Amino acid sequence: MIDAVRAAIEDYRMLEKGDRVVVGVSGGPDSVALLHILHSLAAEYMLVLHVAHLNHMFRGKDAEEDARFVEEFAGSLGLPCTVEAYDVPAYLRRTGRSAQDGAREVRYDFYRRVARDVGANKVALGHNADDQVETILMRLFRGSGLAGLTAIPPVRAEGDVTYIRPLIRVTRSEISAYCEANNLATRLDASNVKPKYLRNKIRLELIPLLEQKYNKRIREALLRTADLLRLDSDYIEGMAHEAFLEALFDWTENSVILDSNVLFRQHGAIQGRVIRQAVARLKDGEVKDIESEHIRSVLAMARRGASGASLDLPDGITAEYEYGKLRLRIGSKRAAPAPGRPFVPERVLAVPGVTRVPELGCEIEARVLDVGELPPPSPGTRRCNTGCQACFEEYLDFHAVRGPLVVRTRRHGDRFRPLGMNGTKKLKDFFIDLKIPRGRRDVIPLIVTGDEIVWVIGYRISDSFKVTKATRRVLHLTARFSAPA
């Protein structure tokens, strides 16, 4: 069996020499065999192993004895061990999660934390070939797409931790035989032999029936099908990733913005995967509770094209559509509101000189020139090329400025006379005409004198301050941003 595990490790590239691996051990045959085998291979792969066990507090004294057993087994192998208890029943009451889903969430959070604490980059889990078969059937009954029918991935990266399943090709009977041959004691979870949960019913009732009545090699057939589907799924996910990068307009730690026009040029099978990849980017690779119906709702909202539309999704994700951009962000529209806009104190512009506005990640340089120093005329706002991420420059009539210049963000009631316009218009209407998203409007710096807007940086100057034939001295303003404006 060690050879089969080694082959899976190599085929799926589960391990590299020098990996630090947290091994999740419940005390059952699967995890005991996994730890024993990885300990046998530790010298070959130069592994640093750390055992982790979580008492879910479902089974009272039996669970406490499981924890002691795991500690003793780890000690017999000379391995460090982290054992913790967590009141999962209370967690289920608080969250309304099912027993299996809630226990899994708590357990994986525990593994991630232990991995971070001990500096591990991998977490090894004891899922086996029979777990695969059961998962395929469960997802088939509930309804699943291509990726779901590939069942349990042998390797899955999630943030800075990669989960590996070295026993994924080994059956339970082979694991039991290995434990017996190596005199390995194990613990028995009585809940696994009761047809209470769907997985147990499939294991104890359905699969034996299928083997007896329909195909005695049904397990092999389903595993072979999952492998074939995984090849197709991997290829399509690669195409979807290229489409995601093409549609990606902007992203931060808490937000991903997609260009919906680019997104909807893709095939429908790709569009949904792009949305899932956007969510995965926000959630460190893990997409929980986002079902196909949620994906369809997000795409339908964007396809309708109603600016300002939003949709709450599970796991704290909100989807918003505005002016051809589909934004997915962490946070619910029904959550308690955060402060609406960054506080940006007004600053008097140094003329000449450099004025920094760290709240907006920009600095503004002002120079006074003779009209003869002007470069050839260029229509619209100029973009300078200084190596910064975003940079804009404008030339104004210096003598048209009657008072000190101030840099600030927008205020309620601001009006503006855009270049080329005779009258004024509300700044809000100017932003709407340019289809600038509402959230972005609060962080656009303005140069003003008194109550009059001189320059909406990155967009347009006021017609009142343009350079004319009568201009003798020129105010040259350059705005440089360390992050895109």
Nearest 10 degrees: Cα torsion 459, 464, 467, 473: -120
One domain, residues 69 and 96: yes
One domain, residues 401 and 286: no
List of long-range contacts for 11-15, beta carbons under 8 Å, 24+ apart: 12/154, 12/155, 12/164, 12/168, 13/155, 14/122, 14/154, 14/155, 14/164, 14/165, 14/166, 15/45, 15/47, 15/122, 15/164
pLDDT confidence of residue 255 = 86
Domain membership of residue 253 (yes or no) is yes
Tens-digit pLDDT profile for residues 89-140: 999 999 888 888 889 999 999 999 999 999 999 999 999 999 999 999 999 9
3-state secondary structure of 421: coil
Domain membership of residue 391 (yes or no) is yes
One domain, residues 265 and 352: no
Look up residue 347 and give its amino acid: R
Residue 51 lies in domain? 2-216
Handedness of CA 58, 62, 64, 68 (dihedral sign): negative
One domain, residues 112 and 196: yes
One domain, residues 309 and 353: no
Phi/psi of residue 225, nearest 5 degrees: -60, -45
- Percent of the chain at pLDDT > 90 equals 61
Tens-digit pLDDT profile for residues 17-71: 999 999 999 999 999 999 999 999 999 999 999 999 999 999 889 999 999 999 9
Q: How many domains does the chain have?
A: 3
CA distance 142 to 139: 5
pLDDT confidence of residue 158 = 81
pLDDT confidence of residue 481 = 81
pLDDT bin (cut points 50, 70, 90) of residue 342 is low
pLDDT confidence of residue 336 = 38
Domain membership of residue 228 (yes or no) is no
Domain membership of residue 268 (yes or no) is yes
Q: Which of 157, 181, 216 is the last residue of a domain?
A: 216
CA distance 446 to 471: 23
Does the pLDDT value for residue 335 go beyond 90? Answer: no
Domain membership of residue 335 (yes or no) is no
One domain, residues 84 and 162: yes
CA distance 195 to 204: 7
One domain, residues 296 and 382: no
Nearest 10 degrees: Cα torsion 210, 26, 20, 81: -170
Domain membership of residue 230 (yes or no) is no
Q: How far is CA 55 from CA 86, 272, 366, in A?
A: 6, 38, 65
**Rounded mean pLDDT, 360-380:** 78
CB burial readout 69-100, b (16+ within 10 A) else e: bbbebbeeeebebbbeebebeebbeeeebeee
Q: What is the pTM of this model?
A: 0.64
3-state secondary structure of 22: strand
pLDDT confidence of residue 381 = 46
Does the pLDDT value for residue 223 go beyond 90? Answer: yes
pLDDT bin (cut points 50, 70, 90) of residue 390 is low
Question: Strands, DSSP E only, in 196-307?
Answer: 248-252, 255-259
pLDDT confidence of residue 245 = 87
Residue with tokens 């109550």: 451
Q: Edge to edge, what strands does the sheet with 155-158 contain?
A: 81-85, 48-55, 20-24, 122-124, 161-164, 155-158
Domain membership of residue 231 (yes or no) is no
CA distance 230 to 135: 14
Residue 290 maps to which CATH number? 3.30.465.60
Contacting residues for 478 by C-beta, under 8 A, at least 6 apart: 364, 365, 367, 384, 391, 392, 393
Domain membership of residue 224 (yes or no) is no
